Structure 1
């Protein structure tokens, strides 16, 4: 009757922009996400000097939905800042994963050598 354990929910992204608003101020709604993505993505986007404001809020604890707002200084559209932040966050995560996997392999190699 409920969600099956281990089943993943589809990720959905909506873009909300007020009528007449320019492209420098956009709110994105990320479904099936929480603080894990929200805070790390906010950090990556705020590193961009063209971004004037970036923040997120969780609508309600029982909903897994984030309202993510970006406002740029006007030179770069908010959508591009969002995409750039996602790409940079992905690169950081890939770097951490590769370092972790290399350390695990090194540990396994050292353990095999010491066992002989």
Structure 2
């Protein structure tokens, strides 16, 4: 007796979503989307830090611990992008670790 696939009883809308997620192109599109999002937010954080440095001045900007954390996160973000683009096997750091560090910004 042949078993029916687990997804055969799904409603039509859920079947469409299942087909989309199960597609061979889904991982590629997801990766490209996440990469674009990473670039966008890194750019926004760089611009934010630059504007704050211009507005507050270099010394006053770095007196605030939150601003120091922001700069560290921006540097980690840029480093992560550079490492991913180089696909660096030279430096044994997983870029995912750098991405996890950016969660600190949300915790702020």
TM score, norm. by length of structure 1 = 0.32
In terms of Rg, which structure is larger? 2
Judging by fraction of residues, say which structure has more helix: 2
Judging by fraction of residues, say which structure has more strand: 1
